[in-house]
Amino acid sequence: MTKFNKKTRQRIVDEYLHGSGKNHFVSQEFVDWVAQRPEHEYYGTLFDKSDAERANQSRVDQVNQMISGLRITVTEEVKVNKEITFRVTEYPSYISPVARRKNGGGYDAFDPHNPVDQQELRRQAGTALASWLNRFRGCAEHNGINVSPIQDIAETLRDDIV
């Protein structure tokens, strides 16, 4: 699939709304509109595969969604001074290392005691949190919420150098 940067995607949507005379974006209507315009720059993105290939990709995406929702619960003993307590932590059952995704990817069983697995999960958590912050920062700041601590957490999780 061809990647379009945000500026290009915004332009495509704006051109569609202007060209169609609509002021409300409906995904199915956009697909139908592009389907009638094989010369449109987005046409290849939507119609680059056969229906059978798209259906199979949909199945693969559905399986990926199914496995990504599985969780494990780990109970760990925590000693503070002489007092022993237990901490219950939930993790994903499987993780998909980002570095392998371009070559077909796959999922590995997550081992909470494996530092490599923890580092991968931290990096993915930081990236997801930064993505959330990128999407919703304006809303939070508009309501007087200081998002700097969230930014710090995202950077720490991703091992960013501040």
The DSSP code for 26 is -
Q: Output 1-8 pairs: Cβ under 8 A, ≥24 positions apart.
A: 1/45, 1/48, 2/44, 2/45, 4/42, 4/45
Q: Does residue 60 lie within any of the structural domains?
A: no
Q: What is the pTM of this model?
A: 0.69
Q: Does residue 92 lie within any of the structural domains?
A: no
pLDDT for 145 equals: 96
Judge residue 154's burial from the number of C-beta atoms within 10 Å of its C-beta, 0-12 exposed, 13-18 middle, 19 or more buried.
buried
pLDDT for 104 equals: 82
Q: Does residue 74 lie within any of the structural domains?
A: no
Task: From 31, 48, 65, give the residue that closes a domain.
Answer: 48
Task: From 33, 48, 63, give the residue that closes a domain.
Answer: 48
Question: Whole domain around residue 137: which residue ranges?
Answer: 114-162
The tens-digit pLDDT sequence of the chain (162 residues) is 458 999 999 999 999 999 999 889 999 999 999 999 999 999 999 999 999 999 999 999 899 889 988 999 999 999 988 899 999 999 999 999 999 988 888 899 999 999 999 999 999 999 999 999 999 999 999 999 999 999 999 999 998 644
Q: How far apart are CA 60 and CA 105, in angstroms?
A: 12
Q: How far apart are CA 67 and CA 60, in angstroms?
A: 11
Who's near 75: CB < 8 A, 6+ residues apart? Answer: 86, 87, 88
Q: Does residue 5 lie within any of the structural domains?
A: yes
Count: domains in the chain: 2
Q: Does residue 107 lie within any of the structural domains?
A: no
Q: Does residue 22 lie within any of the structural domains?
A: yes
Q: Count the neighbouring beta carbons within 10 Å of the beta carbon of residue 34.
A: 19
Judge residue 161's burial from the number of C-beta atoms within 10 Å of its C-beta, 0-12 exposed, 13-18 middle, 19 or more buried.
exposed
Q: Does residue 37 lie within any of the structural domains?
A: yes
Inter-residue contact 147 to 156 (CB < 8 Å): no
pLDDT for 2 equals: 52
Q: Does residue 84 lie within any of the structural domains?
A: no
The DSSP code for 1 is -
Q: How far apart are CA 28 and CA 21, in angstroms?
A: 16
pLDDT for 160 equals: 61
Rounded-to-10 torsion of CA 116, 121, 122, 128: 150
Residue with the two structure tokens 């592009």: 34
